[in-house]
Amino acid sequence: MSRYQNNNLLGIGLMMLAMLLFEVMDAVAKWLVSAEMSAIQVIAVRSWILVILIPLILGLRGELSELVTRQPLQHAVRGVIGFFAPFTFFTSLKTLPLADATVVFFSATFILTAASAIFLKERVGIHRWSAVVIGFAGVVIAMNPQGGGPFGSYLLVLCAACIYSMIFIYGKQLSKRDSVILLVFSLQLGMGVAATAALPWVWVPLEPSALGQLFLMSAIALIAHYAFAAAFARADVSALAPFEYTALVWATIIGYVIWREIPSTEVWIGAAIIISCGLYVIHRESLRHRAENSKRGSNPKPTGLSDR
């Protein structure tokens, strides 16, 4: 029996809140790296703040046992690999408009589909493969070098999406035995260790304002992860999936208000293609799960795992 009553309206609200908070977090990161702070330093400070906050919160709730695992090596490897996802994404934000980076990062949906077929041996039919190919055409259009930033920065976002997909699949395997909060904690711990190892070469003294921004960013990240996971605990995946794309709305608004960034025509065309194909992939995935669940006579609710 589920710990939570199904409430799609509440779940959608939580999903939209999570997407807003993720974009605010990215905006703070963009602000910091644009001020000559290395993405490595941003990741190191953010990760260690979260590594301290998560056990504190769980301790107050009497749930520290959630952080116990019999798979420490796998979590460590996932955490170190995971470092490169925010590193490449935050680095790209130094020269890319926030909305542009968000649109290209949506390619993670197609990368996940392809990776699931390769690594998880999931059956991917012609419908989803077609959506993947067309979706990547949308990514290419959005990455037009004459758009809002250097082509190399768009490639960094693609790298981030690829790494995110890897750690998502890795997390999917680990979640069979471990809790979602452990996946978040171990990922932040691995990122913190990896970033700290490189920190001596990029460290710059922290002004009180920058330290405050990093604390704010960490708090926002923690709330965003919680809202994201809570949304999946309370609503159907098919109901939530379309609202993940509200991230583009928030990114566009934030980018314009703070940096006066206006997405190019190519970005909007690419976004329309990517979102349409992404929703189609999600629709086909929902049909597949429904068919599998009807055969088993069960209807388990997938758990949202965000490793952003």
pLDDT for 74 beyond 90:
yes
Of 35 and 117, the one with more pLDDT: 35
Q: Are 285 and 54 in contact (CB under 8 A)?
A: no
Quick one: pLDDT at residue 112? 81
Contact criterion met (CB below 8 Å) for 135 and 60: no
pLDDT of residue 308: 56
Place of tokens 């934000």: 93
Task: Name residues whose C-beta falls within 8 Å of residue 170's C-beta, 6 or more positions apart in sequence.
Answer: 74, 77, 78, 81
Most confident of 51-55, 109-113, 117-121, 169-173: 51-55
Show the tokens assigned to 6: 């199904």
End-to-end CA distance of the chain: 29
Summarize pLDDT for 281-290 with one digit per residue, the tens.
877 777 776 7
Express as a percent the part of the chain with pLDDT over 90. 48
Q: Which residue has the tokens 């997909």?
A: 165
User: Which residues have a Cβ under 8 Å from the Cβ of 303 and sit 6 or more positions away?
Assistant: 175, 180, 229, 232, 233
pLDDT above 70: residue 227: yes
Q: What amino acid occupies position 12?
A: I
Q: Is the pLDDT of residue 44 over 80?
A: yes
Sequence ranges of the domains in the chain: 8-296
Whether the pLDDT of residue 301 is over 50: the answer is: no
| % of the chain surpassing 70 pLDDT | 90
Spatial distance between the Cα atoms of 41 and 74, rounded to a whole number of angstroms: 25
- The larger pLDDT score, comparing residue 117 to residue 275, is at 275
Arithmetic mean of pLDDT over the chain: 86
Phi-psi region of 37 (alpha: psi -120 to 50; beta: other; left: phi over 0): beta
How far is Cα 211 from Cα 232, in angstroms, rounded to an integer?
Answer: 32
Please report the pLDDT score of residue 1 as a whole number. Answer: 43
pLDDT computed for residue 2 by the predictor: 46
How much is the pLDDT for 143?
85
Mean pLDDT of the 70-95 span: 93
Cα–Cα distance for residue pair 152/167, rounded to 1 Å: 23
Torsion-angle region of residue 151: left (phi > 0), alpha (psi -120 to 50) or beta?
Answer: alpha
Choice among 7-11, 93-97, 153-157, 202-206 with the minimum mean pLDDT: 7-11
pLDDT of res. 46: 93
Does residue 145 register a pLDDT over 70? no
What average pLDDT does range 8-16 have in this prediction? 87
What pLDDT is recorded for position 188? 93
What pLDDT, in 10s, does the model give residues 259-278? Answer: 999 888 889 999 999 999 88
Residue 140 pLDDT class (50, 70, 90 cuts): confident
Once rounded to an integer, what is the mean pLDDT over residues 120-141? 83
**Residues 153-209: tens digit of each pLDDT:** 999 999 999 999 888 888 878 888 888 888 889 999 999 999 999 999 999 998 899
What token pair was written down for 195? 């970033």
Nearest to 170 by CA among 158, 156, 187, 185: 187
The secondary structure of residue 67, as a DSSP letter, is G
| pLDDT value of residue 297 | 58
Please, which pLDDT band fits residue 228 given cuts at 50, 70 and 90?
confident
Alpha-carbon gap, residue 169 to 307, rounded angstroms: 11
